[in-house]
Amino acid sequence: MNKVKTLLSGLILATWAGCAMASGPVVVVLDVDGAISPGTADYVVRGMRSAADQSAQLIVLKMDTPGGLDTSMRQIIKQIIASPIPVAAFVAPNGARAASAGTYILYASHIAAMAPATNLGAATPVMIGLGGVGTGDQPQKEDKDNTQEKDAGANPAPAKTAAPLTALEHKQVNDASAYIRSLAQMRGRNVQWAEQAVRQAVSLTAAEALKLKVIDVIAADVPDLLRQLDGRKVNVLGAERTLDVAGARIVALEPDWRSRLLSVIADPSIAYLLMLAGVFGIFFEFSNPGFVLPGVTGAISLLLALFAFQMLPINYAGLALILLGLAFMTAEAFVPSFGVLGIGGILAFVMGSVMLIDTDVSGYGVPWSVIVPVAVVSALFIFLVVGVALKARNRPVVSGREELIGGSGEVLEDFDGKDGWARLHGESWHIRSKQPLRRGQQIRVVRIDGLILDVEPEQAPKE
């Protein structure tokens, strides 16, 4: 009886401890490592919603990013601003950075923190297309910009040598500048430096950022960050909230299969290869009907590529050049152009591949190490497949009904009427002729009517 009481007491205590632990404060950590992509945005947005469902005290975005796509960045920032849970952007571990899009996300967060030996900044928007936004400005503005930078406490920017900004570049820079200023004003951070990060692409170390009130905290790791943030008051959706994160349970949310799949297929190189696999698979299936596997694989690959393209900044002129190049290389096997169509097709294919991803954002674009081998393999594949198909088409028919037309045989018995029998390819066939035929006479098939062959004499009967 005493043992039963002891066991029950232990179970009650364990249950109470588990409930107490489960009811304690929870901090959710989301790891943003690499370029900001559609997959990253999906992971962060869904992770923040999961943290809200868990009634977490704080969400920590642990960042190490060179930047990324503007659309994905804005999707994350919208979720941060609308989040009912405070968000702390933490540039970590040591040696990490929050460049370009990472700087905007840090400014949008309720709390900005950095680990030692990290940096942020260089938030100038990258020009969409083949070139980037120039770093230079009008000569009259150089001294003023440098003076502002000195006043902010940052290192002076180097002398500008780039050409003046175009009207489109001015629009992009002004839009990005206004956006980061609004974020800085909303969170009470250094507005002046935020604008310089956009207009002059300046960067800061962690110590400089803390001195200039760009960030709130320098912490060695997540536990150290939570110790410093405990009891801090933050404004969340217009209401003041005091953080209670002392001894909080840290829950690291890893990307699920959906976010991992998005990250993989949204990689420009993977999307590019999926598109080519789809085109080649369908092309091979049409060239050789009945194989099934190439057609199924090609259709799936092409659909995945199209799904990835709708998330990426695609240049449709580049996509058209790729398809035109494939068409030219295919036509080379049919039309005797002495290599003109083939060479033109390869050039169009390479140029289209370079232009396909319409951005110069770090971490995005199809590298030459992928383009050149794929162009060579694509040309060899098309020439080989089309060449084999043409050779097969030009070969004489060796089986089936079509092979009987024009075939030669030998009459098996004399007959003066219309019907008789002959031997063709070791088989006896019922034949029909408008002329009398003799045994052993060679005949040639001119037409097939069901199972009766219409024939005509080929030579005089044998002696």
The predicted structure's pLDDT at residue 18:
46
Sheet-wide strand order for 217-218: 217-218, 111-114, 87-91, 58-64, 26-33, 249-253
Quickly count: other Cβ atoms within 10 Å of residue 127's Cβ. 18
The predicted structure's pLDDT at residue 386:
63
Per the DSSP assignment, residues forming a β-bridge with 311 are none
From the number of C-beta atoms within 10 Å of its C-beta (0-12, 13-18, 19+), residue 300 rates as middle
* Strand residues in 173-263 grouped as ranges (E): 203-205, 217-218, 233-236, 239-242, 249-253
pLDDT higher than threshold 90 for residue 62: yes
In this structure, the strands spanning 217-218 and 111-114 are parallel
**Least confident window among 248-257, 335-344, 359-368:** 359-368
Please state the domain extents for the chain.
2-259, 267-394, 401-457
Biggest CA-to-CA distance, the chain: 121
Per the DSSP assignment, residues forming a β-bridge with 233 are 242
pLDDT, greater one: 343 or 195: 195
pLDDT higher than threshold 70 for residue 454: yes
The predicted structure's pLDDT at residue 126:
60
The predicted structure's pLDDT at residue 51:
92
Average pLDDT over residues 282-302: 83
What confidence category does residue 165 fall into, taking pLDDT thresholds of 50, 70 and 90?
A: low
Q: Do the beta carbons of residue 340 and residue 347 sit within 8 Å?
A: no
pLDDT 10s digits, 135-151: 443 333 433 344 334 44
Which of 240, 225, 151 has the alpha carbon at shortest distance from 190?
151
pTM comes to: 0.64
CATH architecture of 2-259: Alpha-Beta Complex (3.90)
In this structure, the strands spanning 427-432 and 217-218 are unpaired
The predicted structure's pLDDT at residue 143:
39
Average model confidence (pLDDT) across the chain: 79
pLDDT 10s digits, 362-417: 556 788 888 888 888 877 776 676 666 666 555 555 455 666 777 788 888 888 76
Average pLDDT over residues 60-65: 94
Which of 47, 377, 86, 128 has the alpha carbon at shortest distance from 236?
86
pLDDT higher than threshold 60 for residue 242: yes
pLDDT 10s digits, 166-219: 777 788 888 889 999 999 999 999 999 999 999 888 999 999 999 999 999 999
Under CATH, domain 401-457 is a member of which superfamily? Nucleic acid-binding proteins (2.40.50.140)
